[in-house]
Structure 1
Amino acid sequence: MTRPALDALDLEQAPEAVLAALAALRTRDAPTHGGRVLSYVYDPGVPELDELAAGAVRAMQPVNGLDPTTFGSVAALERDVVAFARDLLGGDEDTVGTVTSGGTESCLLAVQSARDTWLAERGLRPGEARPRLVAPVTVHAAFHKAAHLYGLELDLVPVASSGPSAGAVDAGVLGARLTAGPAGAADVALVVVSAPSYPHAALDPVAEVAALAADAGVPVHVDACIGGFALPFWPDLPAWDLRVPGVTSLSADLHKYAFAPKGASVLLHRDRDRQRAQYFATTRWPGYPVVNPTLLGSRSGGPLGAAWAILRALGRDGLATLAGRARRATLALGDAVSGIEGLRVVGVPAGPLLAVATDEEAAADRRVDPHLWADAVAAHGWTLQAQPGLTQGDGTRLPHTTHLTVTPVTEGVLEDLVPVLAAAADKVRGRPRPDATALLGALPPLDGGARPGAGLDSAAAAALLDAIGLGAVGEEGPDAGPGVGPMAPLLALVEALPAPFVERLLVELLARLVEPRAA
C-alpha cells in the first residue's frame, strides 16, 4: 500500500514552521550542553555521542516496548544493557534486572517488590498491613513517593550533620532503628541506603548496614541512581554495590553517568523471585494478556536503544575515561570552593557531586550564604541548585546548601567557572540570608493542625502565590521563560512554612505553569 505524502494532507502548519516554533521555545531553556547547568543534565562533552543517541532513538522510535515477543529488538537490547550493568555493579549469573523510565520508577519498583514479597511471606494483601521502609533522612524523595503510593511507613533515620561523615547515616543508629518497634524488625519490608545521596554526595556505609539488615532478615536496596555508572571508577571507596552480601537490589540511572538521553534507568535484583514480584500480570479482562515489568505499559524503545548504543560504543573503558574527567573536575571545584572565604564543602563527597554550605567558623561578616551565592552565580549565566536545610528527628539541623552536579564537560570550563564562583561570593559575602518574615506576613494565619494548608483549594493557593509575588511566574509574555527568579527568598520561605502548606503552594505553582493560557 502506498503511503500518502505529507503535503497531500490538510496540514495546520508546515513541518518547517512547526520545527521553527519548537526551536524558538528551546531558546528559552537553560543550556543542556556546555557545562553551565550544574544539575539536571549530564553532558559528556562528546558531541558524537549525541548523534549516536539520536540515531538510535530514531531507529527505535516506532517500537513499542510493551511486547518483546512482537518486537524482539526490545528483548535483545534490554538483555545487553542489564548484562552490562550487572557485570559493572557486582552482580553474578543469578542477577536479573529491568530497564525503566528513570530513577523514580526504579525506586518505586524496588519498593513495590519488597512490599509485595513481605506481604506474600505473611499471607497478606496490600492494605492489610503497613510495613516500614527504613532509610536515612537523605534518601531520595522518590522513596517518599514510593511509601505514599504503596502504603508503607517511611521511617527516616538522622544522618551526621557535620564533620567528614556529614550527610551519611551511622550504621549502628540505623541498625538500632530496625528493631526499635514492638515487632522488632519483623515489620520492616526494606532498608534503603544511598551511593551516594543526592543532597550531600555522602556514601552511606552500605556493607555495615547490609550486615545488620541481613542479621535481622531484612532486604537492602542501594540507590545508586546518580552514582551507579560513576562510582565503579572512583578510587578508594568502601564496597557499596551488589558485591556486598545482604544487598538485594540496586538502581542506577543510564541517563546520568552512562550519558543516555532521558529517561533510562536500570533496576537490578540479586535473585529472580524478587524481580518477578515487581511484575504486574492479568488475564482477567477480555483483551490481550497484560504482563508489565514496569509501571508503564506501552514503553518507548527510544531511550533503551540510545542507552544500548552508548554503552556499546563507550564500553567500560570509555565510561572510565569520562568518569575520570568528572572526578578531576569535582576535585578541582572542591578545592576552589574550599579556598573561598565564607564557604565550605559539606563532608567528603563520594562521586561527581558537591554540596556547599556557609562556613560557620568564619567571622559573621565574612560568611557567604550558599543561596545568595547561587543567585549571584546565576547572574553570570551559570545554574547551581539551592537546597533547603532540614531539622532531623533527633533535633539536629542539616544546613541549607547549594548543590553542584559535575559532569565530564565541567573539566573544560573550570577556567571560566571558578572565577565566577569567587566573584559571586565576594558580591554577597556578609549579607544575611533573606528573612522570610515579610513574605510570611502576606499569608493568613496557618492552620495549626497536623496538615496545615491541606484543605487549600486551587483558587486560594493561587491567591497566596500572588501575595508572595509568585503568581505571575511564567506569565511575563510570549517570550518569557518559566523561571521563578532569585531562589534565596523562595528557599527561605520553604524552610519557614510547614511542609504540607508549602508543598501545596509549590504544587499550585508548577501546575499553573503548564495550564493552557487565555488567548
Structure 2
Amino acid sequence: MKFPQSGRAPAELLSQLQATKGQDVPWQEGKVFAYVYDAGPEAMQLLGDAFTLYMTENGLDPTSFPSCMVLEKEVIAMAMDLVNADPNGTGTFTGGGTESILLSLKTARDHARDQKPHIKQPEIVLPVTAHAAFFKACQYFDLTPVTVEVDDNFRAIPEKMDAAITDNTILMVGSAPSYAHGAIDPIEAMGQVALKHDILFHVDCCVGGMYLPFAKQLGYDIPNFDMGVPGVTQLSMDFHKWGYAAKGASCVLYNDANLRRYQIFSHSNWTGYTVINPGVTSTKSGGPVAACWAILNHLGLEGYHRLVDASQKATQKLLNALEGIPGLRAMGDPKTNLIALEATDFNIFPLADEMKERGWYIQPQFSYANSAENLHLSIGYHNVEQMDAFIADLTELTAKVRQQQQSVEATPLPEAILAMLEDATPATLGQLAGVLGIDPANPPERMEEINILLNNISADSREVLLGEFVNQLYMPA
C-alpha cells in the first residue's frame, strides 16, 4: 500500500474501518470466551466518552497534565484498597499486564543490584503455570527463570518452590489465578517461603485482581491471595479484564513505596529535556486511565458484585453440565470463571473448529508439562445469557466429534514432517507450508490439522514456528 496522495472524507474512512472490523470475531454476540470484556452498553458508552475526553492529554508530564496524575493516583488507591495493600505502599498505572510484570521484575533486578550486589546471575523462581510475560521479562532483563512443577490441580507446590530457591534467587512468583486452568496458587504458604529466604514475592493477579476480591466478598470459596498475605511484596492486576475498563489498563502495586524507586527510569545525560518514566512508555494517552477511573466509579462494589456473581453462576452451570457430557471434563479444581476443557477419549482440537462454525470462539491450548491439550474458556458477564445455547452446542458437537473419531481410525502424523519440525528454524515454516499446502499469511478456517501438528512437537519448535508465523503475518502487503 502506497502512502495516500490526498485525503479522504471521514465518512468514507469510517465506513471502511467498519467493513474491516467485519473480519473479527463477533464478540458483541457474547459468543467469544477470550480477549473481550463487556459490562453492557451503558458501560461501553461511558468508556468511549471518558476515553475520548482524555484521548489527547499526555500522561508523560504530570506538571502539564496534572489531571492524568490525579486520576492515576485515585485508581491506584482504589486498587490498593481492593487487594488489602499496605497503606504505606504505592503503585503505577500501566498499559497492560505484561508491562506490569516487566516493571515488577525490572524493579526486583535493580533492587537486588543495590541490596544484594553479590548476586551476579539473578534468578526468578516460578511455577510452570506462570504467565509467559514473566519469561518475556527474564529475556528482556537478563534474568534466569527457574521453573518448578505443579500439582495435579495445577497449583504451585510450596515445598518444591522452597527447594528451588538458591543464593541467586531475587524473586518468587505465584498466580491468583493462573490463566490456563484458573488455579489459585497457595499464596499464604508461598509467602512464608519468601519470608524464610528474605526474597521478594510477586503475585500475578492480572486476571484475578478485579474478580477474586468480589467473589470472596460474595462468599465463594476463594483462599487468601492478595497483598494482605505476609510475604507478598508486589502484585500485578488488570483493570481491562474483569474490571471491564478500556484497553490498556493495568497496574503494578508494591507494599513498600521505597521499592518502586527501583522501577523508575530517569535520564538527564543528553541534550534534551530530562526524561522520567515510572513505566515502560514515555508518551501515554490519558484515555485509558480516564476510562478506568470512570468505570470503577460507575460500577462500584455493588456493580462488580453483580457482574462477578452472574459470571460465577454461569461458570457453575457449565461445570454441572460437563458431568453429563461424555468424554469432556474440566481440568483441575477451578474456583473462578477460568475453565480448561479436556477430552478424555478423543482429540479435542476439531471441537474448537466445530464450535467456531457455530459462531463460538474458544481458545485451544497445547499440552505442556502435566497439562494435556485443552480448550480454554474465560467466562464473563457478556457470556452469561449465551451459556444455555453454548452448553447445547457443546454437548451436541462433542458427541459428533467423538463419534466421527471412533468410526474413523486416526492417521498418524508423517515421520518426515515430525523430523522436519524437531529442530525448527524460521525457514522450516515455509517448508511446512509447502508440504501442507497452506499460506502462512492466510491461515485456513479449520485449524485442526495445524493444532494437532503443533501439539506433537516440542515447545521450543512451536515457539520458533509460531514466532516466524507472526513475523510473516505482519509483513506489509
Scaled by the length of structure 1, the TM-score of the pair is: 0.86
For residues 39-438 of structure 1, the aligned pairs below 5 Å read 39-44=34-39, 46-123=40-117, 129-161=120-152, 166-178=153-165, 184=166, 186-234=167-215, 235-359=220-344, 367-391=345-369, 397-430=370-403, 431=405, 437-438=413-414
The percentage of counterpart residues that share the same residue type is 35
Q: Which residue of 1 aligns with 2:451?
A: 491
Equivalent pair of 2:373/2:455 in contact (CA under 8 Å): no
Equivalent pair of 1:100/1:294 in contact (CA under 8 Å): yes
Match of residue 30, structure 2, among 29, 35, 49: 35
RMSD of aligned C-alpha atoms? 1.9
Scaled by the length of structure 2, the TM-score of the pair is: 0.93
**Where in structure 1 do 4 or more consecutive aligned residues deviate above 6 Å?**
none
Instruction: Give the whole-Å Cα distance in 2 for the aligned partners of 1:428 and 1:37.
Output: 21
Q: What CA deviation, in whole Å up to 9, does each residue of 1:338-370 have, x standing for no partner? A: 3211111111112211011123xxxxxxx3433
For structure 1, the residue ranges without an aligned partner over 5 or more in a row are 1-9, 179-183, 360-366, 392-396, 475-482
Q: Secondary structure at the match of 1:236?
A: coil
Instruction: Give the whole-Å Cα distance in 2 for the aligned partners of 1:379 and 1:19.
Output: 28
Structure 1 position 16 matched with structure 2 position 11: yes
1:266 positional shift = 1.1
Kindly provide the amino acid, as one letter, of the partner of residue 432 in structure 2: L
Q: What CA deviation, in whole Å up to 9, does each residue of 1:420-468 have, x standing for no partner? A: 1101101111527976613x63476457xxxx335x45xx533433333
Q: What CA deviation, in whole Å up to 9, does each residue of 1:74-115 have, x standing for no partner? A: 101101110110000111321201110101111111111111
Q: How many residue pairs get matched? A: 466
Q: Secondary structure at the match of 1:252?
A: strand
For structure 2, the residue ranges without an aligned partner over 5 or more in a row are none
Instruction: Give the whole-Å Cα distance in 2 for the aligned partners of 1:346 and 1:404.
Output: 12
Match of residue 466, structure 2, among 506, 515, 518: 506
Kindly provide the amino acid, as one letter, of the partner of residue 93 in structure 2: V
Q: What CA deviation, in whole Å up to 9, does each residue of 1:285-327 have, x standing for no partner? A: 1111111011111112111111111001111221111111111
Q: Secondary structure at the match of 2:28?
A: coil
Q: What CA deviation, in whole Å up to 9, does each residue of 1:210-266 have, x standing for no partner? A: 111111111110001001100012222111000101000111101000001111101
Equivalent pair of 1:281/1:290 in contact (CA under 8 Å): yes
Instruction: Give the whole-Å Cα distance in 2 for the aligned partners of 1:256 and 1:445.
Output: 39
Q: Secondary structure at the match of 1:247?
A: coil
Equivalent pair of 2:311/2:379 in contact (CA under 8 Å): yes
Instruction: Give the whole-Å Cα distance in 2 for the aligned partners of 1:204 and 1:309.
Output: 32
Equivalent pair of 2:418/2:457 in contact (CA under 8 Å): no
1:193 positional shift = 0.5
Match of residue 416, structure 2, among 421, 441, 459: 441
Structure whose residues are more often helix by fraction: 2
Equivalent pair of 2:441/2:473 in contact (CA under 8 Å): yes
